[in-house]
Chains A and B, each alone.
Chain A
Amino acid sequence: MSAGRRGARVAAALGLASGTMGLAALIVASAAPAGADPASTTAFVGVGADVTQDLWAAYTGASPAPGYSSATTTFYTPLHSSAATDNYTVASFDAQPFGGTTTSPGCITTKTGGPSFDRPSSTTAGVAALLDSVNNVGFENTSGSCTNATVSVTGQVDFARAARGPKGGGTTLTWIPYARDGLGVLYYDHGGTTISSLTTAQLANLYSSSTGQATIDGVTVDACLPIAGSTPRSNLESAIGVSDTTAQTAASAAGCAALTQNSGNSFYSFASGLAAGTDAVVPISSGSWESQANGVAVDRSNLARGGGVNLASITDGSTVLGQPYTGTAPNEAPNTTYYQNSKYGYDLYTVVPTADVSGFFANAAIESLFVGTSSALCSSPAQTTAHTFGFDSLTGTEGTCGSTTTEGNS
């Protein structure tokens, strides 16, 4: 074979190889993107209130979440934005992980590729995490941290579940009301006179006691509180007009100042160990109590109910509110009169960055989900789900579902 022919064959071979590689590259470059990941990877992430964690689990599609308990999981149509806004869904992370506590809630990773950070264990913590995610500030739970350091949560939290209104000023966050809950007061009767009926004045006196005890109807009663930052705690203090510092002093003296919120069992575990004749009380979300009793939420109060723990009837001044619920389990329902009371009823909110609901960077999908009376959260199906979990729809005097007029950064 001549040198020229060999050269030509080498050149031809190279040409074919090069062309083949180029064609392959062309095919690869032209290939359509890979199939989409699960819907959950684009869902808006919510953290915060323990009070509504089970309701929001339902809004994600299933509550209680499968696999964590023997409770029967009920499936719901997931809350989602309109078709015109691409049907975005929500992903809600509990304040209290199943089997865990809000005092040591551990860490969560909310989005693919995101950091592991403290699970916000309350409304206050959830709102703080949301604010930090907006402000590029590191977040850490004020107690029970699993990171023991602040962690950047930018982009990891899209909304917060709040079971109270804003405590402070600021315009970075917008609080959007969507339902109503009642502040209940659990009592444990340890013999003697039953304290099933309580007044605002009696509660104010109890939680102002430096010893953490007061005599009510001839019975010694201990003042208990759930963890700092939890809404049952702050809502009680607001209702009876006692500062957190004072109430903390009382509950600390009684030895029950940081119970897991909305856990009847946590309260029962403490109260059942008291001396005979000594009773105890603790604030709790009525909606959470009812949803647990009705079997639609993770039941953290079964032992308490079995031990006689129940919600007290409340009288505020001359107004008899009665018990927060009517009916019996599994058909307990909100006592509307109680929920509508300005002291013992309170609005539930979805908290979002104000920039998501106004201005150029407003998020149409967020707005479709939460803003306005025609939003997904204010729709009849979503409100029906809220009723299932022991919450009432808003009436005109309580607030307008989907309103964006309330702002506050904490």
Chain B
Amino acid sequence: MGPTRRRGLGVLGAAVAVLAAGVAGAGPAAAATLDGTATITNPSADPITTGGSATQFSIALPANAACSGDTATGGYHVYSYLVQAGTVVTGITFTTHPSAGLGLVNNTGVYFGAVNTAINTGQIISIPTNLEFGPLLSDGATLASLLYSGGASGVWEAGLACANSSGVLSDYWNTEVTFTSNTADPDGFVWSVGPPAATPEVPIALLLPLTGVAVLGGGVWITRRRTTRRVMPSATASS
């Protein structure tokens, strides 16, 4: 086996590994998920990282994200929460709403919580696409409380959680959101997704095309190099 063929098999192995990793990442959630990743998206499910008080959004969870049990037989429910950074999320209990902090609300201020899971699988379904941060104020939260760091900003943990029939948190998916004072906004604040992680996750939808382009480019490069090597000796002989 020549070096070129070994290189080709190496590329094949790497590609298979990438595909395998992608498939594994899209698999069902484990039995219990603590501090999973919640992604803020627009109503069309595209991730967004900033918005105003009236920007509608939804929460995307990893594929097949599920509670540790279902509602019908296990008594688990899905709740939203919004607590100041540093709050231990696992310490929150739930009845009709979280025991601490606020929650995610829709454009009319209705809290998203105590929602049933899918039967048997416990999958989290029917996450609204009309969530907004602005109605928190009409619900009773104050701008000062959202911007608790001197009235200029505030960092919050936001996400969805599952709780069992006793209200004890069993699973949660979290994202960090920073509210910042903004006089141009009707409610006086804008938001952004918290500081990016050190090694940000690359969505498989982005990773696969990039990998494809890279492999394709590599193939073209190899082909051109081999062609150049074949042409050069005959050119030398004819001179």
How distant is B1 from chain A, measured CB to nearest CB, in Å?
A: 8
Distance (Å) between the CB of A364 and the closest chain B CB?
A: 5
Mask of A321-363 contacts with B, CB within 8 angstroms, 1/0:
0000000000000000000000000000000010100011111
Q: Flag whether A100 is at the interface (Cβ < 8 A).
A: no
- A110 (CB) vs chain B CBs: closest residue: B116
A2, A8, A31, A152: the one within 8 Å of B45 (CB)? A31
Q: Decide: A84 and B108 in contact? CB cutoff 8 A.
A: yes
Is A11 part of the binding interface, using a Cβ–Cβ cutoff of 8 Å? yes
A-B contacts, CB under 8 A, total: 193
Closest-by-CB residue of B relative to A29 is B205
Contacts A15-B215, A29-B203, A85-B110; is A359 near B140 (CB within 8 Å)?
A: yes
Q: Is the CB of B106 within 8 A of A86?
A: yes
Chain A residues within an 8 Å CB radius of B102: 360
Asked whether any CB of chain B lies closer than 8 Å to the CB of A14, the reply is yes
Partner of A362, one of B71, B118, B139, B210: B139
Question: Which residues of B20-34 are within 8 A (CB) of A?
Answer: none
Given the interface pairs A26-B205, A134-B96, A136-B95, the reply to whether A155 lies near B19 with Cβ below 8 Å is no
**How many residues of chain B are within 8 Å of chain A by beta carbon?**
71
CB neighbours (8 Å) of A362 from chain B are: 109, 139-140
Nearest CB in chain A: distance from B74 CB, A: 9
> Contacts of B110 on A, CB cut-off 8 Å?
85-86, 363-365
Q: Which residues of B contact A21 (CB under 8 A)?
A: 19, 208, 212
Residue from B15, B97, B107 within 8 A of A14 (CB atoms): B15
- Assess whether A112 is interfacial by the CB under 8 Å rule: yes
Is residue B117 within 8 Å, beta carbon to beta carbon, of the partner chain?
yes
Considering the chains assembled together, what is the distance between the CA atoms of A360 and B98 in angstroms?
Answer: 11
| A18-B114 contact in complex given A113-B70, A113-B71, A154-B75, C-beta closer than 8 Å | no
| Residue A7 interfacial (CB < 8 Å) | yes
**Interface size, A (range):** 35 or more
Chain A interface mostly: helix
Tell me the smallest distance from the CB of B214 to a CB of chain A, in Å: 8
Query: Which listed residue (B72, B213, B226) contacts A114, Cβ 8 A?
Result: B72
Interface residues in B118-145 (C-beta closer than 8 Å to A): 118-119, 125-126, 129-130, 139-141
* Chain B proximity of A113: nearest CB distance (Å): 4
Asked if B185 is an interface residue, CB under 8 A from chain A, the answer is no
Q: Are the CB atoms of B96 and A361 closer together than 8 Å?
A: yes
Q: What distance in Å separates the Cβ of B137 from its nearest Cβ neighbour in chain A?
A: 10
Residues of B within 8 A of A135 (CB): 95
Contact status B4-A22, CB under 8 Å: no
Report the minimum CB–CB distance from A46 to chain B (whole Å). 16
Q: Map CB proximity to B onto A56-100 as digits: 1 under 8 Å, 0 otherwise.
A: 000000000000000000000000000011100000000000000
A25 within 8 A of B: yes
Q: Roughly how many angstroms separate A33 CA and B58 CA in the complex, as a whole number?
A: 11
Q: Which residues 143-201 of A sit at the B interface, judged by CB distance below 8 A?
A: 152, 154-156
**B116 and A113 contacting across the interface, CB-CB below 8 Å:** yes
Q: Whole-angstrom distance between the alpha carbons of A29 and B102 in the complex?
A: 29
Taking a contact as CB atoms under 8 Å apart, the answer to whether B8 and A361 are in contact is no
Contact present for A25 and B208 (CB under 8 Å):
yes
Q: State whether B116 touches A5 (Cβ < 8 A).
A: no
Complex Cα distance, B203 from A32, in Å, reads 17
Whether, in the assembled complex, A4 has its beta carbon less than 8 Å from a beta carbon of chain B, the answer is: yes
CA distance A156 to B75 in the complex (A): 11
Supply 11 further A-B pairs (C-beta < 8 A) apart from A11-B11, A29-B45, A30-B44: A4-B223, A7-B4, A7-B8, A11-B218, A18-B15, A18-B209, A22-B205, A33-B45, A154-B77, A360-B141, A364-B110
> Which B residues are closer than 8 A to A by beta carbons?
1-2, 4-5, 7-9, 11-12, 15, 18-19, 43-46, 70-73, 75, 77, 95-97, 102-103, 106-111, 113-119, 125-126, 129-130, 139-141, 165-167, 203-220, 222-223, 226
A-B CB contact pairs (8 Å), 6 listed: A4-B4, A15-B214, A20-B212, A113-B119, A155-B96, A155-B113
Query: Which 9 pairs from chain A and chain B are nearest by CB?
Result: A7-B8, A22-B208, A19-B212, A15-B216, A155-B114, A11-B219, A113-B116, A22-B209, A18-B212
